[in-house]
Chains A and B, each alone.
Chain A
Amino acid sequence: MFTKTTQYLLSLAVLSGTAIADQAAFDQLSQDAKDQTVYFHAWGGADSINQYIQWAADEVESRYGVTVEHVKIDDAAAVVSRLLVEKQADKSEGGDVDLMWVNGENFHTLQREGLLADGWTHKLPNMQFTDPDDLSLSFDFGVKVEQQEAPWGRAQLVFFADPTATPDLPTSAAELLAYAEANPGRVSYPRPPQFHGTTFLKQMLSELIDDRSVLNQPADTVDAAAITAPLWGYLDQLHPHLWQQADSFPQDAGAMLQMLDDGVLDIALSFNPSEASQAIADGRLNPDVRSYVHSAGTIGNTHFVAIPFNANAPEGAKVFANFLMSPEAQARKADPNVWGDPTVLDIERLSAEDQARFAALEQGVATLSPAELGRPLPEPHPSWVPVLERLWAERYQP
């Protein structure tokens, strides 16, 4: 029998052999990708993110000869809708989308409708820097990823306010209601089905029900109306005290941040924990603004990039996805002066040089430390999203 040391050495040899084989395969992939144009469909609502994507595109073009065009979209669901139409029309190649930035809800639809390319992420060399035991990378909104999407960044719901003007920050659903009652018109949330608006509903629902585990189950297997009843009761109380008495809502989290700076709202929210720091560094936000989270925790997830079934340049898309996961690109993305999006890499798996890149990053004046952020609340099963959006529309869009 092998000793433990022999076993370790053998496994190391096998792993390094796999890595070499992967590298050879990736070199071939890079060759195939040369001169391809990748259409990367990604949300274009934040200038900092757009500039980061442009930087990554320039790098990939100079290193691999792959041209990346950032197709700015305001909702990834529009891309899913297009892919559905193309699938119905049997357009199985030459599609308009090569790579897309997805959230769990859209990933669930893409996977269910067979709109994704077969598993491919295990072929990317930079996957070795992620933690294979990290469930947030292998499950997206509770749905198994099946190597059909590559992790790109992490998100957690955070709230922003100016503590000098709002000393008693509301850190729970109940406190938020009390704050809104005491300060009518100074609180709001984006209108569902906008992504941040739906996240706000999920956050409040998570706080308002006793047993959160029920949200991990598909919504059609439980009594969704009964489970969500506390949420609607809460919103019925909250809406009369919201900005414009909830007759209208901010378009999205970016608009809320602008309204916070303009003094229209007292509280803004975002899925990017570094967004306030980034905006302050950019001169777009009152420097006194700080981030905070609710005491029961806030919803967090990992965001991914995926390749559709009929991508026109799948090789180029994989090369770009691999670059986005590189320590260099991840460190730049995590910089609050650039984007401030937390990395998906396991720092301990990086070389000393790459670890130093991350260590050198400043946290940002308004960014919470990982300890302050706390453990994120898991996303509910994706089937809750359409249920919440439909019930919200039926109730508040008569």
Chain B
Amino acid sequence: MILALLLCAWLLWQQGLSSALVLGDIPGLWRSVWLSGFTGLLSTVLAALLAVYWVQVGQRFAWLVGVPHLALAVGLAQIWSPSGLWGHWSVASGLLAQVPQFPNLRDDNGLFMVFALMLKEAAFLAIVFGSQSTAEDGQRVILARSLGCNRAQAYWRVHVPMMLARGRYAIWLALTYAVTQVEVASVLSPQRPPTLALMIIERLNDARPEAWTQAIWLVLALVVLVMLTIVTFELLLKPLLVHRAFGETLAQRCLSGFSRFAALHIVLSIVILTVLAVSKRWPSGQWLPSGWHIDTLSRVLSGDVFLNTLMLGLTASLLGILIALTLLHFGWRFAGASRIWVVAALGLPSLLTVLGLYWLSVQTQLPSILVLLWGHGFVVLAYQLLLLAPAWQKLPKPLCDQAASLGMRPWQVTSRVRLPLMSRVIATAVAIGFSVSVAQYVSTLVLTGGRVQTLGIEVVIAAGSGQRNYLAASALMLASLPAVVFWISHAAPNWLWRTRKGMQIVD
């Protein structure tokens, strides 16, 4: 990460600081900055509120974390685009005589993009908030009720502030992602101008010699924007959320309805992807497609792209696990400088890392596949350490000490005591690492120049070219792969250690 920053600084030093003036030549820059900040803040605030609600009513969408942003965005677009589900059914039902001109998925304020981002980030935040809940939480709410608060007041005055305070870092991560993401923006961003992150990608794809200088300055501007949005959230928006003193009941009802609306869209987006992946032409004004086939789906499943995605995800994830467990074995702890490294790896815009790595790979002429694994593994490892480190530290020390006293060497204590005890967490970390790798669209594209084709790249290309059947089949596979790996990761430890209960062998 530091290397990436240094490389950017070196490159700009070569070009001269006056090269920043090129930013003035970019039409729509300030509008783009505003758009990125606004959509990032709004989606994160809504996601945080929805996540707190989901935790309270019991999590039902944890699985959504594994679905890449891109796949969900494509699914939502197929519901709401004028030529999507809504467009077809509004004509088929006779509600409208012609396919509607609205809504505009790429509306000037990026509201559809906000909606898509919110759904995904809410699932992530709900998992984090849920994992940080304690038995005391319920008692605090009960205390508030006993002191005269109604249900809604207790929720807004006690539950929400408590969750937002505990999940501060997770919210910052969500905010950073929302401001800097390219995946959802490539499907739903406004076009005149696009978001700042998309503007950077446009510059990286621009053949003009000055475009790269512009891209680097824009990446640095993006870093500043991330910091500004975090400050804005902490100083302005969070106080508004946690010091509500009126309208709690109405807000509670709105949140409940909004949650149902969101849930409907999550389910519908998967359904519509499945339908379009196996359908032929869908004539205008018809309730359903005119025919069905699985040729495209079979082709996607049997193609190199699917295999590349699978292999890359597994390699990055297993490498990450290996490194993480080695680090933990040698005493790595999630504290101090280590914590800063992990938070920085996840909290700084991925575009910065990718740009730095790409420049490094060109300068050193490292093989692109190695750089790609570095780029993926870097983020995967950070997520896995975030998950594994607390579990490792909670392992009962007396058991490990006893194993050592029985003559086990340190590596044997790890392999025969710690790892079996952590099998479920490790399996989950493999699945999370896999889904993080599968979702890495920008790094795969930039670091290999497209030489390693993955489902993410395929979906973005297909999304822009109107190949609806192929797009849906690729997006469905993109969504399904992590889900299957999650399922396997859940089932595998049960099967592998079916004869064990903790350290005990059972018949």
Contacts and interface: CB of A to CB of B under 8 A. Distances in A.
Interface stretch (B343-351, B384-392, B450-458): B450-458
A81 interface: yes
Contact of A71 (B27, B207, B451): B451
B362 A85 contact: yes
Interface string A92-108: 00101100000001100
Contacts of A315: none
Contact of A72 (B27, B83, B453, B466): B453
B453 to A, nearest CB: 6
A234 to B, nearest CB: 18
B410 interface: no
Interface residues of A, number: 60
A287 B471 CA distance: 22
Contact of B461 (A74, A91, A258, A261): A74
A191 B363 CA distance: 35
Given A45-B461, A71-B450, A261 B27 contact: no
Given A97-B449, A109-B207, A264-B82, A74 B362 contact: no
Interface centre among B192, B205, B465, by most chain A C-beta atoms within 10 angstroms, is B465
B20 interface: no
Contacts of A71: 449-451, 453
A129 interface: no
A55 to B, nearest CB: 14
A264 B464 contact: no
Contacts of A78: 204-205, 449-450
Interface in B58-109: 82-83, 87-88, 91, 98-99, 101, 104-108
Contact of A397 (B27, B107, B283): B27
A74 B209 contact: no
Contact of B206 (A47, A81, A394): A81
A248 interface: yes
Contacts of B88: 262
B468 interface: yes
- In this complex, the interface size class of chain B, counting residues with CB under 8 Å from chain A, is 35 or more
B356 interface: no
A85 B281 contact: no
Contacts of B87: 262, 264
Contact of A249 (B27, B191, B363, B458): B191
Interface string B352-363: 000000110011
B259 interface: no
A332 interface: no
Contact of B212 (A85, A255, A394): A85
Contacts of B458: 44, 72
A256 interface: yes
B451 A91 contact: no
A84 interface: yes
A262 B28 contact: no
Interface stretch (A207-215, A222-230, A278-286, A297-305): A278-286
A249 B87 CA distance: 17
Contact of B83 (A89, A252, A258, A393): A258
B205 A262 contact: no
Contacts of B451: 39, 69, 71, 96
A261 B284 contact: yes
A91 B365 contact: yes
B211 interface: yes
A264 B96 CA distance: 13
B111 to A, nearest CB: 13
B83 A262 contact: yes
Contact of A255 (B211, B283, B466, B470): B466
A281 to B, nearest CB: 12
B31 interface: yes
Contacts of A8: none
A252 B464 contact: yes
Contacts of B208: 109, 386
A259 B207 contact: no
B281 A81 contact: no
Given A81-B211, A258-B468, A393-B28, A264 B362 contact: no
Nearest to A385: B207
B37 interface: no
A334 B449 CA distance: 30
A81 B204 contact: yes
B461 A247 contact: no
Interface centre among B28, B87, B448, B467, by most chain A C-beta atoms within 10 angstroms, is B467
B192 A251 contact: no
B28 A398 contact: yes
B190 interface: yes
Contact of B101 (A73, A243, A255): A243
Interface in B272-318: 280-285, 291
B368 interface: yes
B368 A397 contact: no
B462 interface: yes
Contacts of A261: 281, 283-284
Interface centre among A71, A73, A262, A398, by most chain B C-beta atoms within 10 angstroms, is A262
B467 A74 contact: no
B101 A244 contact: yes
A255 B464 contact: yes
B460 interface: yes
A132 interface: no
B92 to A, nearest CB: 11
A113 interface: yes
Nearest to A255: B466
Given A84-B207, A89-B363, A394-B27, A248 B192 contact: yes
Given A251-B465, A256-B466, A261-B281, A81 B460 contact: no
Nearest 7 interchain pairs by C-beta: A262-B83, A263-B284, A45-B465, A258-B466, A251-B464, A254-B465, A80-B207
15 contacts: A71-B451, A74-B461, A75-B205, A77-B206, A78-B449, A84-B207, A248-B105, A252-B465, A254-B467, A261-B283, A263-B98, A263-B99, A263-B285, A397-B193, A398-B31
Interface of B: 27-28, 31, 82-83, 87-88, 91, 98-99, 101, 104-108, 190-193, 204-209, 211-212, 280-285, 291, 358-359, 362-363, 365, 368, 448-451, 453, 457-458, 460-470
